[in-house]
Each structure stands twice: as C-alpha cells, then as structure tokens.
Amino acid sequence: MKVSYHGHSIIKIVTNGTTILIDPFINGNGLTDLKVENENPDVILLTHGHNDHVGDTVELAKKNNALVVAPNELADYLGWQGCNVHNMHIGGAHEFEFGKVKFTQAFHGSSYVTENKEIIYTGMPSGILFTAEGKTIYHAGDTALFGDMELIGKRHPIDVAFLPIGDNFTMGPEDAAYAVTLLKPKIVVPIHYNTFPPITQNPDEFAKLVEGAEVQILQSGEFVEF
C-alpha cells in the first residue's frame, strides 16, 4: 500500500492495483502537486460536501468512471450529476474489492455551494476509516475535537491518522494533539492547514505538542513511511 499527501486534505492510496483519492480538491488548491488531467482514480472517497473537499470529484469520476463513495445525501447529489456512487452513512461499513470503508462521525458542517450561490445541504459530515493489506488509515475529515475519538481508536487500531490542524473551521494544533492521545495512532499526519489565510499554521508547533505517536509532516506529493 502506498499512501501520499497532496495538499489541504487530499490523500491518495494505491492498494491492490486500485487508486483511491480522498477529498480531491485540486483546482483552486494552491498547495497541491496534482493536476486533474493527470489523475485517473478508480475510487473517490468523500468526507463531506464542502467545495474544498468535493473539489473536482464530478470531473474526475466521469472521466475515469470512478466509483464515488460518500455520505448518503452527498452521494445522492453527485449521482444526480452523473457520477457512479455508493451511498453510505456514519457508523456503516462496507467491504469493497479494494478494501473496507467505514464512516465515522465528525463535528462540522456539510453543504455544497453552487455557482448561483445556492447552498445545497449534503447530509452529515464524516471521517473515514479505510482498511486494506492489514493497515488502517483514518482520515478525520473536517472536525472539532470530540470524546468519541477514544472509542474510534479502541475499536479500530489505527496505523496512520490524518488530522486537521488549521483551526478556525476545524481543530487547531492543541486540540488535534489531544485527539492523538484519544485515537492512539502509530503515525499522525497534519492536514487542512495553510491553504487559506484563516487556517495558517506551523505544523512543527503541532509536532511539538504530540505525545505517543510519530508525527510525519508531509509536503505535497510525499508518501507516508510505515
């Protein structure tokens, strides 16, 4: 399994010949090394409906006939746009050929803003647990700190956790560091920071706060080492 970070909240997983993108916000993302025309995902996993997470999903999914796995209302909306979707919801898990996907709770919002400035409700925000090749990856999505992260960690031993540290819209460094004590991952990677002025953070300061896990601060395009 190869797991790489591509700016903001984009994660790419290559496993068993399948390429998976999580939250592929590419166009408009000044921190990513990816280009839509060069990406050929087989699967797209989405945590919630905000534009900086759904990103280029529709174009990527249609171009590659990719399967989009998303929370129920968001999956419905993307299905109406012509995407091939698999609806899921918080607490639910499904065993796909490429691995197991389980959606967890997240404390945030979830809506899609159209070009006409309409806000479309896209259901509950979520985190994602992905398991394949004996490894479990946790992408927290956009979330505040919450106590049941401890339950997630107890029920699902986590090899790598991707946690937002940007503050303002999500956990900041202090809360994210505390989340590590609850989740108990082997490795933690900070995400969702420095893309926009309100979420400017120094990831090295986050790393100083973390106890009990290895911190890997990745630049766009770099792989997790595990």
* Domain residue spans of the chain: 2-215
Q: What string of pLDDT tens digits covers the 226 residues of the chain?
A: 999 999 999 999 999 999 999 999 999 999 999 999 999 999 999 999 999 999 999 999 999 999 999 999 999 999 999 999 999 999 999 999 999 999 999 999 999 888 899 999 999 999 999 999 999 999 999 999 999 999 999 999 999 999 999 999 999 999 999 999 999 999 999 999 999 999 999 999 999 999 999 999 999 999 999 9
- For domain 2-215, the CATH superfamily is Ribonuclease Z/Hydroxyacylglutathione hydrolase-like (3.60.15.10)
C-beta separation of 174 from 202 below 8 A: no
